[in-house]
Amino acid sequence: MSATSPAPLLRVENLTKHFPITAGFFVKREVGRVRAVDDVSFHIAQGETLGLVGESGCGKSTTGRLVLRLIEPTSGKVEIEGRDILSSTPAEMRELRKGMQIVFQDPYSSLNPRMTVEEIILEPLYVQGARPGPEMTRRARKLLETVGLSPNHVVRYPHEFSGGQRQRIGIARALAPQPRFVVCDEAVSALDVSVQAQIVNLLQDLQEEFRLSYLFIAHDLAVVKHISDRVAVMYLGKIVEQADKASLYASPRHPYTQALLASIPVPNPRLRRPRARLTGDVPSAMAPPAGCRFNTRCPHATDLCRTVEPPAIEAAPGHVVACHHVASIPAVSPLAPQR
């Protein structure tokens, strides 16, 4: 559904963020850089969900924030509905921000404890120049209803709510300016499993209702499988594999994706699966390994992998893999039942 769809809502090209590490007392000099996000490209169509998965610290949250220009990228290009957000002036940016919102991971720190629910939800509108009044209160009540809370909660404060309810408030705030694109930055990771399911369902209902596009950042592959249309896998600041959901989960091509999928627990004690266990730690993003970044932990690594960085190849239509050995590594899903 992706590669063939017309002009994508969001297009990200060669997005890169290096955080400089500085030292020195009077004169700051750069002693190194953390390559948090390195040459990342993807696109999201209208009404589509792109899942972005990877280990902690692989740069997926940074990517989410770069796309919204909450952090200034080092280089690259981000276009939403054909408009380049990185070259926009602050005034244009404010206008563009109506169309793109974010839902955060931590429902406890993402709501200002000193504001009422109404103030929190309507904040984006007030920033855009709306004036408080009965009409605005009505909107806040409507939004609360949309996310499944009682409209009477507008006068309450965040501490009066549970984690799941707070996340609903966060979603209501994101919906207030009627965005077309929402970044869900680990939006369900901090919640109980039962609440997770409710929030995921809510996100899907809202997507249908408002034709929203999501960049769904998570580390839980099962949740991503449920909500995404396409999935991108990140490792050490790079996207190593990107494909539509069915293809990625059924026939993962990159050894890292295979290892990730192998780590999903399957509720069947008799099932024996080929183990593609990962050993060792993720190398430091300050000094990523030469060649393929995954070569230090990859069971298939060769000298080529240790010297030359693999280009992103379209292994199958819409299935992009950055691995030298795509052709030789069997595309077997560790999820497929085997006796």
* Closest CB 210 distance from another protein, rounded Å: 17
- Establish if 168 lies at the interface with another protein (CB under 8 A): no
| Residue carrying structure tokens 């297009």 | 11
Residue 105 and residue 325: Cα distance in Å, rounded?
A: 36
- Closest by Cα among 20, 74, 72, 96 to 286: 20
Whichever of 8 and 179 has its CB closer to another protein, that residue is: 179
Among the residue ranges 75-83, 101-109, 263-271, 324-332, the one whose residues contact another protein (CB under 8 A)? 101-109
Whichever of 74 and 302 has its CB closer to another protein, that residue is: 74
Q: Phi and psi of 330, rounded to 5°?
A: -65, 135
The total of other beta-carbon atoms located within 10 Å of residue 232's CB is 25
Whichever of 10 and 233 has its CB closer to another protein, that residue is: 10
* Closest CB 114 distance from another protein, rounded Å: 4
Whichever of 102 and 335 has its CB closer to another protein, that residue is: 102
* Closest CB 177 distance from another protein, rounded Å: 7
Pairing of strands 10-23, 29-44: antiparallel
Site for another protein in 148-167 (CB under 8 A): 157-160
Whichever of 175 and 322 has its CB closer to another protein, that residue is: 175
Rounded alpha-carbon distances, angstroms, from residue 73 to 59, 87, 95, 186, 193:
13, 11, 20, 21, 34
Binder of another protein out of 14, 22, 75, 128 (CB under 8 A): 128
- Closest by Cα among 11, 12, 10, 15 to 76: 15
- Establish if 86 lies at the interface with another protein (CB under 8 A): no
Write the CB contacts of 9 (distance below 8 Å, at least 6 apart in sequence). 44, 45, 46, 48, 80, 81, 180, 181, 213
59 within 8 A of 71, measured Cβ to Cβ? no
- Establish if 110 lies at the interface with another protein (CB under 8 A): yes
Where do contacts with another protein occur on this chain (CB under 8 A)?
Answer: 65, 68, 70, 93-94, 97-98, 100-102, 104-106, 108-115, 120, 123-124, 127-128, 157-160, 170, 173, 177
